[in-house]
A and B are shown apart, each in its own frame.
Chain A
Amino acid sequence: MSRKKRERGHIRGIRSSFTAEDGKRGLSPLRREYFFGLLLRLFSALSLGASVFSVLFLILYILGRGSSVISPGFLTRAPAGLVLGEEGGIAPAITGSLLFSGTAVLLAGIPAIAAALYLVFFCRSRWMRASIRLVIQCISGIPSIVLGLFAYSFLVRSLGLGRCVLSGGAALSIMILPFIEMRAEKAFLELPQELLDASTAMGCSPAWTVKKMVLPYCLGELISALLLGGCFAMGATAPILFTGAVAFSAHPKSLLEPAMALPLHLYLLIAQGAGSLRTAYGTAFVMIAVLLLCRLAAAAYARYRERRWRG
């Protein structure tokens, strides 16, 4: 039904309710409203149900299929078997992934938080703020595979770093930089202006206010932004595909060596077909578990700070 028609109908409904008898009976909404309202609620409830169901199903399915594979050996041994990865464990991939995302968080975290601080507290020109936000949004729009391409040609080839954890971590860091920056900016914007004014009113400089009040106040949010950024980096395959992740290596000894990574390992296991399906579920289990643990840790820390300071 067109909107115009509906509105006309509605107006007619109201007009008819303004007669004398209706005045005695009182106004009552059209019956059609009940019907549409019900339909709307039904539709929205169904779609919410479908969304929530898909989350829970995905996670429980992976956790259920993967849990039987997990054993101390799986977590501490290197991949083995005739077709690599069918047997053995994923230990080098775990350390590799940790290194990759650690490097990425280190490289991205500092500039991201600095950029957010500057934009929120120091940038006085509306024009400059808008254009920097646009730039950051553009970075967040760059597909991860293009970042991999960039890192491959610039870091691996032009700078001659070769395929290594550092190149891969740098590609990942560009990917998570806007993510961290946007979350940090949101946290800073939630800070009440009165607190900042109170600090200024005592004669404290902006730098002092930021260091002694803003950062401690937003610490929980910042840590969770870094942690989730790390998770994001840990799951990404495309940026490290040709910049640092390899099918097999031992535990890397420095950042200038290539390393295994969980997502690439999982991809290769899937590509190998039915024989390595079991270990593939195990790897997926580990990835989901790390993700859930990080989220839980971030939430718990935020809750702890809430209790401690806002009792």
Chain B
Amino acid sequence: MRKMENRLFIGCLLLLLSLTVFLLLFVMYFIAREALPTFRELSLFSFLFGERWMPVDLGGEKAFGIFNFIAATAAVSFLALIFAALLSIGAALCLSCFLREELRDFLCSVIDILAGIPSVIYGFIGIELVTPLFIRAGVHTGSCVLAASLVLSVMLLPFMIASLSESFRKLKERYYPGAEAMGISLSYTVRSLILPQAAGSILIALILALGRAMGETMAVMMLVGNANLFPRILGKAETIASLIALEMGSAEAGSTHYHALFAAGFVLLLFLFLINFTIGLIRSRLPDIEEERYL
């Protein structure tokens, strides 16, 4: 009886697991299926590199080119990544190496709260506090790439700090006792051992954060101005995610517009899979610390 029960239990687990895996493949398949009809009407090249996006016929010709959106997505997320990287590496170092344990745990959970704050609230705060600064600085309406990426960088902070401080702490536990026994200062150990050793994990954290930044919708949409222009630091732009969020509601089902939005989503999805694949590659080159449990 117990044996049957055991088999049944493992069977159930396996079933649910395969369901989960199947789900992802299905999401991909579905987006791709809805995206493909776009290319019956226009070429892949003109879709990816066209600069005109004119979904509705307003006298002119219809056009679906997402080049500016791709560029804006890249610009906003890279800018945000640079700001976030500077802050998070420093903060993670401070948390993992220079603070006492109780203080570290406390501050970690404080920063962790940031991760839970909904993106629409970030957008709200951005509109209330960040755009007025830009208006004062002379940017018309205050919405611009820089404003969006500043707010986005704060959103990336908690994830990066959490993963970086974890790997810094492990390295410190491994190397510092030996260095300390030779009388070498902590900050020298950090510079000479911990930071170089952590290069791989820093890279992984950065790429993961890049993925998050590219997919972020609401906060960026509220701050970036949403105009189909090539991104400039103080100019307006529109990212792929905000394009979908803004136009999906009005796109007529089955129209080229509808399919083109799916195609844009698929492009975004491909970027993110590329990112995950790269991370997998980097991880496989790092020393492996896989844990297993046997039952």
Query: What 1/0 mask marks residues of chain A from 126 to 159 whose CB sits below 8 Å from any chain B CB?
Result: 1000001011111101111111111011100100
Which residue of A is nearest B280, CB measured?
Answer: A134
What residues of chain B lie closer than 8 Å to A47, measured between beta carbons?
86-91, 94
> Is B117 among interface residues, defined by CB-CB distance under 8 A?
yes
Cβ A62 vs Cβ B120 within 8 A: no
Which residue of A is nearest B16, CB measured?
Answer: A114
What residues of chain A lie closer than 8 Å to B120, measured between beta carbons?
235, 237, 263-264, 266-267
Partner of A145, one of B93, B125, B217: B217
Q: Evaluate whether A51 and B87 lie within 8 angstroms (CB atoms) in the complex, with A45-B98, A210-B295, A299-B109 already known.
A: yes
What residues of chain A lie closer than 8 Å to B291, measured between beta carbons?
189
Chain B interface, >50% SS class: helix
Q: Please provide the chain B residues from 1 to 53 with a CB less than 8 Å away from any CB of chain A in the complex.
A: 2-3, 5-6, 8-10, 12-14, 16-17, 19-21, 23-24, 27, 30-31, 34
Interface residues of A, CB < 8 Å — how many? 96
Rounded to whole Å, the gap between the CB of A249 and the closest CB of chain B is 16
Cβ A135 vs Cβ B24 within 8 A: yes
Cβ B95 vs Cβ A143 within 8 A: no
Cβ A145 vs Cβ B30 within 8 A: no
Cβ A235 vs Cβ B90 within 8 A: no
Which residue of B is nearest A117, CB measured?
Answer: B13
> Is B157 among interface residues, defined by CB-CB distance under 8 A?
yes
Partner of A153, one of B34, B87, B125, B185: B34
Cβ B272 vs Cβ A143 within 8 A: yes
Partner of B157, one of A51, A115, A148, A153: A51
Cβ B215 vs Cβ A142 within 8 A: yes
Interface centre among A61, A120, A153 (most CB of B within 10 A): A153
Cβ B218 vs Cβ A263 within 8 A: yes
Interface residues on chain B, size class? 35 or more
Cβ B94 vs Cβ A207 within 8 A: no
> Is A118 among interface residues, defined by CB-CB distance under 8 A?
yes
Interface centre among A44, A181, A208, A234 (most CB of B within 10 A): A44
> Is A177 among interface residues, defined by CB-CB distance under 8 A?
yes
What residues of chain A lie closer than 8 Å to B97, measured between beta carbons?
44
What residues of chain B lie closer than 8 Å to A232, measured between beta carbons?
116
Rounded to whole Å, the gap between the CB of A221 and the closest CB of chain B is 15
Q: Please provide the chain B residues from 246 to 295 with a CB less than 8 Å away from any CB of chain A in the complex.
A: 248-249, 253, 261-262, 265, 268-269, 272-273, 275-276, 279-280, 290-295
Q: Please provide the chain A residues from 91 to 123 with a CB less than 8 Å away from any CB of chain B in the complex.
A: 110-112, 114-115, 117-122
Q: Evaluate whether A146 and B117 lie within 8 angstroms (CB atoms) in the complex, with A44-B94, A135-B21, A206-B10 already known.
A: no
Cβ B123 vs Cβ A270 within 8 A: yes
Cβ A62 vs Cβ B121 within 8 A: yes
Which residue of B is nearest A54, CB measured?
Answer: B154
How far apart sit A78 and B191, CA to CA, in the bound complex (Å)?
A: 58
What residues of chain B lie closer than 8 Å to A114, measured between beta carbons?
12-13, 16-17
> Is B147 among interface residues, defined by CB-CB distance under 8 A?
no
Rounded to whole Å, the gap between the CB of B258 and the closest CB of chain A is 9
> Is A84 among interface residues, defined by CB-CB distance under 8 A?
no
How far apart sit A235 and B217, CA to CA, in the bound complex (Å)?
A: 12
How far apart sit A200 and B8, CA to CA, in the bound complex (Å)?
A: 18
Cβ B127 vs Cβ A270 within 8 A: yes
> Is A72 among interface residues, defined by CB-CB distance under 8 A?
no
> Is B110 among interface residues, defined by CB-CB distance under 8 A?
yes
Question: 5 A–B contact pairs at CB < 8 A?
Answer: A55-B113, A114-B13, A148-B244, A174-B27, A266-B121
Q: Can you add 11 more A-B contacts, CB < 8 Å, to A142-B27, A148-B244?
A: A33-B188, A36-B188, A36-B191, A43-B90, A44-B93, A44-B97, A148-B245, A148-B248, A193-B294, A270-B222, A291-B113
Instruction: Point out residues on A near B: beta carbons under 8 Å.
Output: 27, 29, 33, 36-38, 40-41, 43-48, 50-52, 54-56, 58-59, 61-62, 110-112, 114-115, 117-122, 126, 132, 134-139, 141-150, 152-154, 157, 174, 177, 181, 188-189, 191, 193, 196, 200, 205-211, 228, 231-232, 234-238, 241-242, 263-264, 266-267, 270, 280, 284, 287-288, 291-292, 295, 299
